[in-house]
Amino acid sequence: MSERQRVSSAEQRAIAAEQAYVDVVYDRLDESAKVATSLVKEGYARGHIGNEGGLVERDAMVFQAQRRLSALNAAHDGLVFGRLDLDDASARYIGRIGVRDADREILLIDWRAPAASLFYQATAQEPQGVVRRRVLRSSGQRVVGVEDDLLDADAAPDDMEIVGEGALLASLSRARDTTMHSVVATIQKEQDEAIRAPVRGATIIGGGPGTGKTVVALHRAAFLLYSDRRRFERGGVLVVGPSSVFMAYIERVLPSLGETAVTLRSLGEIVDGVGASDHDESVAAAAKGSARMLTVLQRLARAPQPGEPTSFRYFYKDDVLTLDARQLSGIRRQLLASLKRNRAYTRAPAAVAAALWRQVHGERALENGEEEFLEVLTSDHRFIDFIEAWWPPVEAVELWRTLPLRLAELADGAFDAEEIAALKASWAVSAQEGGRPRIEDVPIIDELRYLLGEVPPPQEEDDDIPRQLMSFERREREADDELRATTSIEDDGYAHVLVDEAQDLSPLQWRMLGRRGRQASWTIVGDPAQSSWPHPEEAASARAEALRGKDEHVFRLSTNYRNSAEVYDLAARVAKVAIPDADLADAVRRTDEEPEHRWVADADLQDCVVDSARELLGRVDGTVAVVTPRAALEETRESVAPLLAEHPDRLRVLDGLDTKGLEFDAVMVVEPDAIIAESEAGWRTFYVVLTRATQLLVTVGTSETWLSRVG
């Protein structure tokens, strides 16, 4: 028998043995699912119970049973993925969830449980009682392969067979598809330490490209839900990524681990009711996200609105009562000294009325007193119309739309001429698109929302008195109105906030997330070398404010599992051009496939792009990305449209920023010099783009200036 046949025979024996055990676990899983299903049916059958306590009991039963059923269904594929053979001759099986038999004996240990930590922490240098670690590869319920790591050869029985090339290396060579998958079976020791970091405070996960920062952070979210489910399900877990493309890429990871109680949002989707998917060009983006913009927004939130009346005259008995612009400005300052604009909505009528009463001097008026004055004033439509025009409730989005017209007066030195022109040009495009914001506008809208306070609820149709005057006319309602006005915006908080690609966040984006994580624990993932934000010190200050008072637990991942050494060698040389102290990880595998560079004339560029994309699709089984300068994105998509139609699940056309956090089997970079020239952070963006490739990398361009810089 040849060596290959002997190994194949050993693997088949291992697969058969593991399949027998896996079948037992699935049988028990099916029994648990049947019980959960029956509980759901029983709960709905109790719908005839008329008393409140019975209905609450029914709803609780249905909710818990449905949640258990969802977890069982989510964990069904690849349920059993690991086995530990210990030096005491016992074995532990590790899976996506925990499973017990009918006698409550453990069949399968949840990967997040302390008893499963050995699966990730044991190494050949420190086996910690583990002789062999085995990873089971499955398709549905069927075991299709095993990969063994022998950790303690001295303790291994003579008849123990070792199969495969090792789980990690086997997983690295497999083709990618359009979504990120759980790596729960191949988590490495340094990654596991970050996943199981203390719950409180902020866990900071750093490291170069391809070190698994994103997937480690997502597994940490699943670990937190397991370790303190009541807290994190009740308070919520917010996962934030740079783009909708990225969020679509990672959306299956947590459900595959049995966790669905998580909110996934891109930076353009953080604010309810506001959605953005496009980035600004670099000058406008830097201006919108800067701390200087905060000064402009504070001025805007306190300034009079366009069209507000600048004076008010009222005749009362023998007196002519007048409020001019200066007096109205004083009342405005008085109200805004202690209240946000929309919170002062119910206080404005009383403040104006008090100022008018101080001007009353006629004997007849004074004889009847302030009470009659207020009754006459607040029932007069002229006063009501003035108040509604002078202090209307203001929506954050509507106020944002006024920025282009008021920027020059509000900026007052905050921005230079180039920045003001870029901002106005950006907002002009938004106006042409029906007022659709850019991703960088979302934190501006959120900031205004916070500065203004919650918009008061609309007036009921059957209310005769304008809602603005209710608290003035009916003082007993004022406390309730104020409470309602202060609870909504500051109630956005989550129990845990996970931020990926954190190195790209602007100061205003940090403020936006900080408001949602004041009481939260945090997981922050990033690599300064990949930053596209041009002012890191300013962002660092905003981040420190968002995390104020929280202990930080810092982890650095040091091994690049994504890129081949050939690809990463080129990427590292690019990084050193702009980032001398870049955090460069160690690539662990070679493919003997060097990056290729192709130069063509302008007229031949798109033909070369199409031919190269077709070639790469033929050379890899998985995904291919064509990455272009933003200005050429639509042209390139049109050129490769037939290939996109033929390979909708394998081929993507993206700009540099939208590749953040993604990976592809092959990457073609179109016009690298143009990508570098797009922004102040162009070299960093180019570095990010290169590190998306797991197997093949090709550059296509009409110039080679960048390569002469790299050497």
Q: Which domains does the chain have, with CATH numbers?
A: 3-172 (no CATH), 189-273+490-560 (3.40.50.300), 282-479 (no CATH), 565-710 (3.40.50.300)
Least confident of 329-343, 489-503, 689-703: 489-503
Give the residue-averaged pLDDT of 628-647.
Answer: 96
pLDDT cut 70: percent of the chain above it: 85
Please tell me the distance from the alpha carbon of residue 328 to that of residue 386, in angstroms, as a whole number. Answer: 12
Percent of the chain with pLDDT over 90: 54
Amino acid at 139: S
Q: Is the pLDDT of residue 328 over 90?
A: yes
- Model-level pTM? 0.77
- Nearest to residue 531, comparing CAs of 514, 513, 549, 506? 506
Q: How far apart are CA 42 and CA 45, in angstroms?
A: 5
pLDDT per residue as tens digits for the range 207-261: 989 898 988 999 999 999 988 988 998 899 999 999 888 888 888 788 777 677 7
Please state which of the ranges 269-283, 478-492, 580-594 shows the lowest mean pLDDT.
Answer: 478-492
> What pLDDT band is residue 271 in, cutting at 50, 70 and 90?
very high
Dihedral angle of Cα 226, 227, 233, 235, to the nearest 10 degrees:
-150
When the pLDDT of each residue in the chain is averaged and rounded to a whole number, the result is 85
pLDDT value at position 76?
65
Ranked by mean pLDDT, the top range of 27-36, 164-173, 646-655 is 646-655
Spatial CB neighbours of 54, under 8 Å, sequence gap ≥ 6: 46
CA distances to 222, 246, 398 from 92, rounded to whole Å, are 21, 36, 60
Q: What is the mean pLDDT of residues 585-602?
A: 92
Higher pLDDT, 552 or 178: 552
* 326-344: average pLDDT: 93
Task: Quick: pLDDT tens for 341-369.
Answer: 999 988 899 999 999 999 988 776 677 78
C-alpha torsion angle, residues 370, 374, 377, 378 (rounded to 10): 180
State residue 68's pLDDT score. Answer: 55
* Confidence category of residue 531, pLDDT binned at 50, 70, 90: confident
pLDDT of residue 10: 81
Least Cα distance to 42 among 59, 22, 56 occurs for 59
pLDDT of 71: 58
* Structure tokens that stand for 354 in this block: 């008090």
Q: Is the pLDDT of residue 688 over 60?
A: yes
Higher pLDDT: 316 or 639? It is 639
How far CA 496 is from CA of 5, 181, 232, 250, in Å, comes to 51, 22, 7, 18
> What is the average per-residue pLDDT within 484-504?
74
Q: What are phi and psi of 150, to 5 degrees?
A: -85, 115
Report pLDDT for 400. Answer: 95
